[in-house]
Structure 1
Amino acid sequence: MSDDTPTPDQAPGAPHPRETRALVGQDAAEQAFLSAFNSDRLHHGWLLTGPRGVGKATLAWRIARFLLATPPADEGGLFGAPQPPETLDIDPNHPVAHRMLAGAEPGLAAITRSLNDQGRLRNEIVVDDIRKLGKFFGLSSADGGRRVVIVDAADEMNVSAANALLKMLEEPPARTTLLLISHQPSRLLPTIRSRCRTLRLSPLSSDDMQAALAQAGAILPDQADHLAALAAGSVGDAVRLINLGGLEIYAEFIAILGTLPRMDRQRALALAEAAAQRGAADKFELLLTLIDVALSRLALTGATGAPPSPEAAPNEAETLARLSATPQQARAWAEVAATITARARHGQAVNLDPAALVLDTVFKIQETAGQSR
Structure 2
Amino acid sequence: MSDDSIPQSDVIDGAPHPRLTEKLIGQSAAEDTFLTAFNSGRLHHAWLINGPRGVGKSTLAWRIARFLLAQPDDDGGMFVDAAPTPTNLSVPVDHPVARRIAALGEPRLFLARRPYDEKSKKLKQAITVEEVRKLKSFFNFSAADGGWRVAIVDAADELNTAAANALLKILEEPPEKVILLLVCHQPARLLPTIRSRCRELRCVQLNETELDGVLAQAGFEASQNSLALATLADGSAGQAIQMLGADGLKLYASIVSIAARAPGLDRGAALTLANACVGKAAEQKYDMTLRLFATFLARLARHGALQPSTVIEAAQGEASLFAKLAPNAAAARKWANLLQEITSRSTHARAVNLDPSSVILDMFLKLDETARN
**TM tier, shorter chain?**
over 0.9
1:326 is the counterpart of 2:306:
no
Is the CA contact 2:157–2:187 (under 8 Å) kept in the aligned structure 1?
Answer: yes
Is the CA contact 1:302–1:326 (under 8 Å) kept in the aligned structure 2?
Answer: yes
Superposed CA offset, 1:20-74 (max 9, x none): 0000011110010011111111111100000001100000000000000012456
Distance 2:308 2:208 in 1: 21
From 187, 192, 195, give the equivalent of 2:194. 192
Q: What letter matches 2:95 in structure 1? A: H
* Aligned equivalent of 2:210: 208
Distance 2:5 2:257 in 1: 36
* Aligned equivalent of 1:348: 350
Secondary structure class of the residue paired with 2:49: strand
Displacement of 1:4: 4.5
Superposed CA offset, 1:52-104 (max 9, x none): 01100000000000000012456434675232100001111111011011110
- The more displaced of 285-294 and 116-125 is 116-125
* Aligned equivalent of 1:101: 102
Superposed counterparts of 1:20-169, under 5 Å: 20-73=21-74, 75-77=76-78, 80-118=81-119, 119-169=121-171
Is the CA contact 2:262–2:368 (under 8 Å) kept in the aligned structure 1?
Answer: yes
* Change over 3 Å in CA distance of 1:128–1:5 after alignment to 2: closer
Superposed CA offset, 1:234-290 (max 9, x none): 111111110111111111000000111101111100111111133222221111111
Aligned length: 371
Is the CA contact 1:74–1:81 (under 8 Å) kept in the aligned structure 2?
Answer: no
* Aligned equivalent of 2:296: 294
Distance 1:145 1:234 in 2: 35
Secondary structure class of the residue paired with 1:180: strand
* Aligned equivalent of 1:244: 246
- The more displaced of 314-323 and 303-312 is 303-312
- The more displaced of 211-220 and 187-196 is 211-220
Secondary structure class of the residue paired with 2:181: strand
Secondary structure class of the residue paired with 2:157: helix
1:273 is the counterpart of 2:278:
no
Secondary structure class of the residue paired with 1:46: strand
> Could you tell me the TM-score, scaled by structure 2's length?
0.96
Distance 2:118 2:5 in 1: 21
The runs of 5 or more residues in structure 2 that have no matched partner are none
* Change over 3 Å in CA distance of 1:204–1:306 after alignment to 2: same
Displacement of 1:224: 1.2
- Name the Cα RMSD after superposition: 1.6
* Change over 3 Å in CA distance of 1:12–1:317 after alignment to 2: same
Displacement of 1:144: 3.3
Distance 1:202 1:359 in 2: 35
Q: What letter matches 2:277 in structure 1? A: A
Is the CA contact 1:297–1:307 (under 8 Å) kept in the aligned structure 2?
Answer: no
Distance 2:227 2:325 in 1: 23
Is the CA contact 2:298–2:339 (under 8 Å) kept in the aligned structure 1?
Answer: yes
Superposed CA offset, 1:79-134 (max 9, x none): 75232100001111111011011110001111110122513211111111111113
> Could you tell me the TM-score, scaled by structure 1's length?
0.96
- The more displaced of 261-270 and 282-291 is 282-291
Q: What letter matches 1:87 in structure 2? A: N
Is the CA contact 1:305–1:326 (under 8 Å) kept in the aligned structure 2?
Answer: yes
Q: What letter matches 1:240 in structure 2? A: Q
Distance 1:309 1:86 in 2: 41
Is the CA contact 1:301–1:307 (under 8 Å) kept in the aligned structure 2?
Answer: no
* Change over 3 Å in CA distance of 1:212–1:287 after alignment to 2: same
Secondary structure class of the residue paired with 1:275: coil
Is the CA contact 1:307–1:320 (under 8 Å) kept in the aligned structure 2?
Answer: no
